[in-house]
Chain A
Amino acid sequence: MALLEIENLHTYYGNIHALKGISLEVEKGEVVCLIGSNGAGKSTTLKTVSGLIRPRQGTIRFEGEEVIFLPAHEIARGGVVHVPEGRRCFAQLSVEENLELGAYSRNDKAAIREDLAHVYELFPRLKERRKQYSGTLSGGEQQMLAMGRGLMARPRVLLLDEPSMGLAPVLVDQIFEVIKTLHDEGTTILLVEQNAHMALQVADRGYVIQTGEIVLSDDAKALQHNEMIQRVYLGLA
């Protein structure tokens, strides 16, 4: 039984049929990426999993339990932690307060302090800025903060939505370095990316989504050598 199982998910925005029967699985300890172009339904998939949007049909099982009717905050408390697109840090709170809010549903003070230290270790930049309002951070720093905030919840599965979006290449490398580290530490990650090249390098497996449907799924290595992927997503001839 996979940790996270999504079956035949149909999500609508009004009358627009955004997800047309998505099915995917994430095993414990795996990094799975979901690649696709703009508007293919990547973010919608994550939002449906984390409960921000209600699907019309389908099932989402986490550790074998149906979570589809739970409100978003209960899904988050269950360990499905969504780091949303566009970072969405709380601009009027300091870096450290943002991180503390990440651990909102936890009460184990000592462990929270350990995790805070761990996040600062992964992102030394955040430690330098910990008293600063997060609204004053650069885009890259905000991405680090959003990921750090997600990690503070001790995720059983981490949903990362476009962590590389709008970042300078150096920062993209840094972010993916961290994703690799998290993978090595055993964190389960479902990664949504437009940057297929980077995503396939860190992932174990990948799914390709086009206009709301999964069109391909395979090992990341195999996808990297797939001709269609090379042509459409990797920009290789």
Chain B
Amino acid sequence: MMMNWNRRQFIGALGTTSLIAGFPGLVLGAAKARVVIVGGGFGGAIAARYLKLHEPGIEVTLIERNKHYISCPFSNEVLSGERNIESLTFGYAAHAARGVNVVHDAVTAIDAAKKTVMTQGGKSFAYDYLVVSPGIDFDYGTIEGASPEMEKTMLHAWKAGEQTLQLKKQLEAMKNGGLVIITSPKRPYRCPPGPYERAAQMAAYFKHHKPKSKVLILDHGDTMPKQALFEESWKQLYPGMIEWVPGSSGGKILRVDQKKRSLVTDMGDQKADIINFIPPQRAAAIARMAGLTDQSGWCPIDPMTMESTLHKGIYVIGDAAVTNDIPKSAHAAASQAKVVVNAIVAVTNGKPVPKPQYTNACYTVVGPDYGFSIVGIFQPEGGKLVSVKGAGGLSPVGAPSYVRKAEAEYAYSWLKNITTEAFL
């Protein structure tokens, strides 16, 4: 396993523990290792939590711009009015209470050679291991006529927060019989089933308040995740209210006309009362600045350890990383965080690095008492992260109401437990 953990780094880590080598678990003032985490979303927050859980002797610094994190998972329910955004808002007090050095600052540079992170506030942090979990940025450059300015008129609401609330206001202000367009971008993007769940949650709101209204999904691709389950649920819950146009049938956005507020596809100009333009995506700016991205715009990693293949000693987890079959989800980021933590803790304590465990559980709630899920188990294979055959899979199509209700309830419990794991 040491081949994946470069020897210098391993010896370095041992060096810091040599004083206490005979007394595992005993901390004599000096930290066993210093870990800096950039980004306090699900990936970064859970990495911090598990480092302190499994090895309190490791010094952990979590650098996050914002004082609060708003969960993207279940933010579509803010649109239907099923929940408020406060129920998805979390702080970092629990991390501080557990001894994590929480720093609210923006990272401006990462010096991989000197193993130092610099912030806007003029601070620098030295590390033995760096975990980068920066999330996504929008990439407007790949569509003609698109630019960041359109965020104001064609909301994305793909980073939960102010945009989510604005989109909800637009839905509330729209007339009965209005049309909403949701664009589903080129893959990979954050939360693959998200656009389709969003369509359902919007339809849930319309059903009770503006039943003549419709949602049109213009899709870059020709398939959607959980497709049979979505199509079945739309038909059952929202007949005639949601239309999905695959890319090859004219769903692909060729051009954006911001002045006319229209999207140009093979079907011509598409206009609507509300356009929810979910832009194409790439790794967040700090990953690009630090040289952690390749030409794809995402961060290539060693699937055994999540270590960057471009900079040794830096581990990239969550949505920003190239993870092949693993979708960009909170649960996947959590499992990647644990892979990195378990490796760091093992090396720090001179134990063998465990086999990496990559899992994903992704729940969708399309309406009251109606949920379904997909499970993925992944393993490194031929330099990639590949779905394990014979494990994982989808909820059944045609399932009875007990199953849909139970899955909706488990979905909410998933949210409660993973947000507790990350932030509480």
A binds B: no
* Chain B residues proximal to chain A, CB less than 8 Å: none
